[in-house]
Amino acid sequence: MGSDIKLDINARFDHARDVIKAAGKRAMSYYDGTAGDLEIEAKTNALDMVSIADKNVEAIIRDRIHDAFPEDGFLGEEMGIEQGSNDCLWVIDPIDGTACFVNQMPSWCISIALVVAGEIVLGLIYQPCNKELFTARLGEGAEANGEPIKASTANSVSEGLMGLGMSHRTSSDEITPFIKDLLDREGIFIRNGSGALMMAYAAAGRLIGYYEPHINPWDCMAGILLMREAGGWANDYLGAPDALEKGAPILTAGANVAAELRAMTGIEK
Q: Are 116 and 109 in contact (CB under 8 A)?
A: no
- To the question of whether residue 95 is assigned a binding role by annotation, the answer is yes
CA torsion sign, 35 to 124 to 15 to 239? negative
222 Cβ contact list (under 8 Å, min separation 6): 91, 111, 112, 113, 120, 122, 123, 124, 125, 134, 136, 196, 199, 200
What is the maximum alpha-carbon separation in the chain?
A: 52
Q: Which residues are 227's β-sheet partners?
A: none
> What are the backbone dihedrals phi and psi of residue 167, each rounded to the nearest 5 degrees, phi first?
-130, 170
Distances (CA, A) of 132 to 20, 110, 129, 266: 11, 11, 8, 33
Distances (CA, A) of 119 to 18, 114, 164, 229: 22, 8, 25, 13
As a whole number of angstroms, the distance between CA 99 and CA 40 comes to 10
- To the question of whether residue 93 is assigned a binding role by annotation, the answer is yes
Nearest Cα neighbor of 221 from 196, 246, 203, 241 is 196
DSSP assignment, residue 104? T
Q: Could you tell me which residues are annotated as the binding site for Mg(2+)?
A: 77, 93, 95-96, 219
Q: Could you tell me which residues are annotated as the binding site?
A: 77, 93, 95-96, 219
